[in-house]
Chains A and B, each alone.
Chain A
Amino acid sequence: DIVMTQSPDSLAVSLGERATISCKSSQNILYSSNNKNYLAWYQQKPGQPPKLLIYWASTRESGVPDRFSGSGSGTDFTLTISSLQAEDVAVYYCQQYYGSPRELTFGGGTKVEIK
């Protein structure tokens, strides 16, 4: 099974500052035949279901503000919020779908708060 490990568990960032979240997979999730990383990022606000932010490691979902960006390849990935806004307070999850359709796994989540 592919294990996804996020860090940190939580972070506090001042409004307007950058927030960076790391996600590491236990094995390579870059598919060589199409050169795509099978990695998505989701945002979950309290009392709400998760919301898709990014897929293919760096492709923003329609309607997602461009302050959210994803990067990385292979086993190491990063979600960056370039200028934190109050509405970005949430828990962020990475998810691999390399194992799809047999297996999908989420990271443990990173809670982002305002400092």
Chain B
Amino acid sequence: QVQLVQSGSEVKRPGASVKVSCESSGYTFTDYYIHWVRQAPGQGLEWMGWINLKTAATNFVQKFQGRVTMTRDTSISTAYMELTRLRSDDTAVYYCARGTALVPGVTDYWGQGTLVTVSS
């Protein structure tokens, strides 16, 4: 069965960086996209961007330009999202989600989420 398993919770100081991993199993990794979506405490969903797992091409929301990097390691079926220069308003649960094969903009499987807390 398809599974996306994310790395554990992180606590970071303002200005630091965080790298969240998302390990996939149960499907052909390079046939899909991985999206990253975050959710601040008590708030709604915010799409951050995606990575094409075959080509490594990425696309993300303008607001994260210069701060976010999305990568993947096909040898271990794992995608990564790194966010730098963290601020307190980056405190959120970060999700990875698989874009469907037919419609990459629709996500059919999600990771369990990784809580990133930014606090001094």
Near B by CB (< 8 A), chain A positions 82-114 give 91, 93, 95, 97, 100-109
Q: How large is the interface on A (under 10, 10 to 19, 20 to 34, 35 or more residues)?
A: 20 to 34
Q: Choose among A102, A104, A107 the residue with the greatest number of B CB atoms under 10 Å from its CB.
A: A104
- Which B residues are in CB contact (< 8 Å) with A106? 37, 44-47
| Complex CA–CA separation, A103 to B97 (angstroms) | 15
**How many residues on the B side are at the interface (Cβ–Cβ under 8 A)?**
22
Near B by CB (< 8 A), chain A positions 59-80 give 61
Number of A-B contacts (CB under 8 A): 56
> By the criterion CB–CB under 8 Å, are A93 and B106 in contact?
no
| Complex CA–CA separation, A101 to B44 (angstroms) | 21
CB distance from B109 to the nearest CB of A (A): 8
| Complex CA–CA separation, A42 to B39 (angstroms) | 14
Given A49-B95, A49-B112, A102-B59, the answer on whether A97 and B105 have CB atoms closer than 8 Å is yes
> By the criterion CB–CB under 8 Å, are B35 and A104 in contact?
yes
CB distance from A18 to the nearest CB of B (A): 24
- Which A residues are in CB contact (< 8 Å) with B111? 49
Given A93-B45, A104-B47, the answer on whether A49 and B113 have CB atoms closer than 8 Å is yes
CB distance from A91 to the nearest CB of B (A): 8
Q: Choose among A44, A50, A108 the residue with the greatest number of B CB atoms under 10 Å from its CB.
A: A50
> By the criterion CB–CB under 8 Å, are A97 and B106 in contact?
yes
| Complex CA–CA separation, A61 to B106 (angstroms) | 11
Near A by CB (< 8 A), chain B positions 29-74 give 35, 37, 44-47, 50, 59, 61
What residue in chain B is nearest A97 (Cβ atoms)?
A: B105
CB distance from B110 to the nearest CB of A (A): 4
Given A50-B45, A106-B45, the answer on whether A55 and B95 have CB atoms closer than 8 Å is no
Complex A-B: 22 CB contacts under 8 Å: A38-B105, A44-B45, A49-B97, A49-B111, A49-B113, A50-B37, A50-B97, A52-B106, A52-B108, A61-B108, A93-B44, A93-B45, A95-B45, A95-B106, A97-B103, A97-B105, A101-B59, A103-B61, A104-B35, A104-B105, A106-B47, A108-B44
The 4 A-B residue pairs whose C-beta atoms are closest, nearest first, are A97-B105, A100-B105, A49-B110, A106-B45
